[in-house]
Chain A
Amino acid sequence: MSNDHSGRIRMMQGNEACAEGALVAGCRFFAGYPITPSTEVAEHLSVKFPKIGGRFIQMEDEIAAMGAIIGASLTGMKSLTATSGPGFSLKQENIGYACMAEVPCVIINVMRGGPSTGMPTLPAQMDVQQARWGTHGDHGIIVLSASSAQESYEQTIRAFNLAEKYMTPVILLLDEIVGHTTEKVIIPDESKIEIVNRRKPAEKPKDYLPYRETEDCIPTLAPFGTGYRYNVTGLCHNETGFPTNDNKIIGKLVHRLVKKIVMHADDIIEVKKTMLDDAEIGIFAYGSVSRSARSAVLKCREMGIKAGLLEPKVLWPFPKKEVLAMARKVKAIIVPELNMGQMAREVELASRCAVPVHKLGRVDGNPIDPREIVDMIKGVV
């Protein structure tokens, strides 16, 4: 569809880049509800989708939007919704449904600060734990992060690929700075972009089991209307998709839902390292804050302080191995983030007390200035 601008350089804000990424990924269904600072994703797709036969719908609330994308995904459509903090809270009920029923879909959350309606127009990263644990019950989840318009584009495509591959909801977290900053995006030639589509059943309808046990723990759900008449439920179910009270089957199911993500962690996790090889001070930062952190690393290097940066592009599953490797090399880790230490806690756990972990949290709606990071590093050194 977008061959007309392949290989081109475009100026886009992060939210628009998400919408463009979704189009390239093959997304053809969007249901949403207006909420700052994510609304541009919906607005952009409301223009694009009708022109290419994609389906856009503005629902009556956030809960309905989440339900609608699951329904659409079950007809075979790659489906998307976008929201922000309070709306993300409302979506949790049906995010859990998508985890349980293993329905691929993508949720973009352009984070704002909270609790409650909080700071609609100011940057924050206060949903990183909500993204992991917001819905009730044990489950696995994939959560990606983007720090620029370019990454918003690329990570949206990756979110769809991971959702389709692992039959799971995938959450992409942006913060207000990333969502609203207009900057350069290089759009690669479409032939060079990897697109993953969900598996189709190989067997005939009479032999089909939607939740058949497989080595890779990934089910194969046939789109509704293709002759495979099966049941989908949010209740604990067996291989046929029907509810069960058999404790053995229930235990197996919940274990598999978690294992499905854990066993493929190496394929899912992605980190970016900047000057980390010889670093004595390691910074762990994501989203817009990683840009301040990159700048702080360069300033430190100018001053002769060996600082380096570990940027997780995937927040969940958490990159434990990568953090531990960094912890074993550096003398201290700094975690700047726009919350009161939600990921610093994970870094502390993953580093197994190998080094001190220093939190640099801001919750006042201001971005983190590179100088704040440099000052903290100077204090630690």
Chain B
Amino acid sequence: MFNYLEYIREKNFPHIWCAGCGDGIVLKAILRAIEKSGISLDETVMVSGIGCSSRTPGYVDMNTLHTTHGRAIPFATGVKHGNPKLNVIVITGDGDATAIGGNHLIHAARRNIDITVLLYNNYIYGMTGGQCSPTTPTGSRAATAPFGNIEPPFNTSGLAIAAGASFVARADVYNVANCEKMIAMALAKKGFSLVEILTPCPTAFGRRNKMASPVKLMEWLRDNAVPAAKWKKMTEEERRGRMETGVLMDVDKPEYTAEYEKLVTSLRTGK
């Protein structure tokens, strides 16, 4: 039996997440993946921005840094560049990472700095009460899209791939085993890694979109988040409105802090 108590700050529970929220499922997947990866809690820093997902660090027993809205990645960049020996994990959400923090996301991916970004995508600004985010599907209702969202959504994983990330995966909280596996792979990757984790928000998203019951949203994930093997066999028609899960990008390329260290060594030795 996995002992979660070894990894959490028990006194900070109960957590703030609503009933039916998927964030607790992600938290457990992260902890199991951390155990699997064998990284030391003393040498791990978890950095987050603002939003429901960004409350995760408060519950885990490591060095934790809860920053300003959208800015987790720059703070994490400072931590990693300041002490490259530290394992740096960023917890962020769709609003935090792709709206206010979008610029930081693409540049950290381009730089290929060795941090792992776990992006909880619940398609909505949950903490502020359900306003539409850059990933809210077109037509979905939100507190600030009462007649349905007229904007197209971001393909978040696609954005990270295009910007140059070494490792990009998509996972969801219905398929928990895959979620844990993708996080473990991201933690093991040297370079910028991102896992987009689809997670339900019945309170702020589901309620407005005829999926108020957490079960409904879980069923939606079951039917629409498609493992890569199955995705490959699907027709274009079947793929429409669905998302591929699993590893979307995995490539080895020069990592930022290692390249900086090379520069330091070459200047010092004259080689």
Contact = CB atoms under 8 A, between A and B. Distances in A.
| B83, B85, B264 — most chain A CB neighbours (10 Å) | B83
Interface residues of B, number: 38
Given A67-B75, A231-B58, A57 B83 contact: no
Nearest to B110: A60
Contact of A232 (B65, B74, B77, B78): B65
Interface string B258-271: 00100110011000
A104 to B, nearest CB: 13
Interface in B34-70: 41-43, 45, 47, 57-58, 61-68
Contact of B63 (A55, A69, A97, A224): A224
B208 interface: no
A234 B264 CA distance: 34
Contact of A71 (B62, B66, B82, B107): B82
B79 interface: yes
A97 B66 CA distance: 10
Interface stretch (A18-26, A74-82, A109-117): A74-82
Contacts of A225: 42-43, 45, 63, 83, 85-86
Contacts of A229: 41-42, 61-64
A61 interface: yes
Contact of A235 (B63, B66, B104, B263): B66
B12 interface: yes
A240 to B, nearest CB: 9
Interface string A38-66: 00000000000011010101011101111
A171 to B, nearest CB: 18
B143 to A, nearest CB: 23
A64 B107 contact: yes
Given A225-B63, A225-B85, A71 B47 contact: yes
Given A64-B104, A224-B63, A59 B74 contact: yes
A71 B58 contact: no
A225 B77 CA distance: 15
B71 interface: yes
A93 interface: yes
A233 B45 contact: no
A366 to B, nearest CB: 37
B42 A233 contact: no
A144 B77 CA distance: 28
Given A60-B107, A235-B66, A71 B61 contact: no
Interface in A224-273: 224-235, 242-243
Given A229-B42, A242-B12, A71 B79 contact: yes
Given A63-B74, A231-B58, A97 B67 contact: yes
Contacts of B76: 71
B256 to A, nearest CB: 8
A315 interface: no
B103 interface: yes
A70 interface: yes
A173 interface: no
A76 B85 CA distance: 13
Contact of B45 (A60, A65, A224): A224
Nearest to A235: B66
B81 interface: yes
A347 interface: no
A29 interface: yes
A29 B65 CA distance: 19
A224 B79 contact: yes
B263 A67 contact: no
Q: For this complex, into which size category does the number of interface residues on chain A fall?
A: 35 or more
Contacts of A65: 74
A77 B67 contact: no
A232 B66 contact: yes
A71 B48 CA distance: 12
Contacts of A66: 74
B81 A57 contact: yes
A72 B80 CA distance: 8
Interface in B101-127: 103-104, 107
A72 B81 contact: yes
Interface string A94-110: 10010000000000000
A79 B74 CA distance: 14
Nearest to A31: B78
A79 to B, nearest CB: 7
B192 to A, nearest CB: 14
Given A71-B47, A224-B83, A229-B42, A50 B78 contact: no
A57 B78 CA distance: 9
Nearest to B85: A225
B83 A63 contact: no
B78 A67 contact: yes
Contacts of A17: none
A68 B86 CA distance: 15
Contact of B68 (A50, A60, A74, A94): A94
22 contacts: A31-B77, A31-B78, A55-B260, A63-B74, A67-B67, A67-B75, A68-B75, A70-B67, A71-B77, A71-B79, A71-B82, A75-B86, A79-B82, A94-B68, A224-B83, A225-B85, A227-B42, A231-B57, A231-B64, A232-B64, A232-B65, A232-B66
Given A31-B81, A68-B77, 15 more contacts: A50-B264, A51-B264, A51-B267, A53-B268, A57-B81, A60-B107, A68-B78, A70-B67, A71-B77, A79-B82, A225-B83, A229-B63, A231-B64, A233-B58, A234-B68
Interface of A: 29, 31, 50-51, 53, 55, 57, 59-61, 63-77, 79, 93-94, 97, 223-235, 242-243
The 9 closest A-B pairs by CB, nearest first: A71-B78, A67-B74, A72-B82, A68-B78, A64-B74, A75-B82, A60-B107, A72-B78, A71-B75
Interface of B: 12, 41-43, 45, 47, 57-58, 61-68, 71, 73-83, 85-86, 103-104, 107, 260, 263-264, 267-268
